[in-house]
Structure 1
Amino acid sequence: MTRRWQVALGANVLLGIPGVIPIWVLWFLAASWASGPEPTDNDPMVLWLPIAAIVIVPYVLLWMSVNRSLARRSSLPPGIYWWLSALATFLPTTALIIYSP
């Protein structure tokens, strides 16, 4: 049984490595919708929704299944566990943002 928070942290950092792509897709959609369409943009944003669904939904299902199994075995309170998991998942993306040229 996993009783330490290090297992949850390590698993979510590892899940955050492929999670860079869905996080980027979400950021791209949010930035595109917030700024509005370009005057010369002929590609509708609606075409990005199936791409986002294909990328994001499997990742979220994987993340939830791994974390549900780890949360049951962890001795951390549920609120702390889920915050730790979410923050650890964003560590690889944050590192890429900080250390990008």
Structure 2
Amino acid sequence: MLHTLAHSPYHTDLDALLRNVGADDAILLLQDGVIAALSGVPFGERLQSSGATVYALQEDVVARGLSEQISTTIVLIDYTQFVQLTVLHSRQLAW
């Protein structure tokens, strides 16, 4: 399943998201959700501990001026790769 987080992690039920994530799932951070990808914040570490691969939409990271602050464990992707994720994961859950 593809989990998309488009809201700030400060305004998201991260515990509920983590309860629903499996090891074969993917988490995509986009819009204000990219805040969870910042290095040194607990959100990214918690998402990584789920076992799912965590991605962030590069365009949203750049638009917020966060390029130099993103954790190295987060995979930055473009819109084409976003589409590929939706093809790979036929089910999606938006947070």
TM-score (norm 1): 0.27
Higher relative contact order (CA 8 A, sep 6+): 1
More helix by share: 1
TM-score (norm 2): 0.28
More strand by share: 2
Higher alpha-carbon Rg: 1
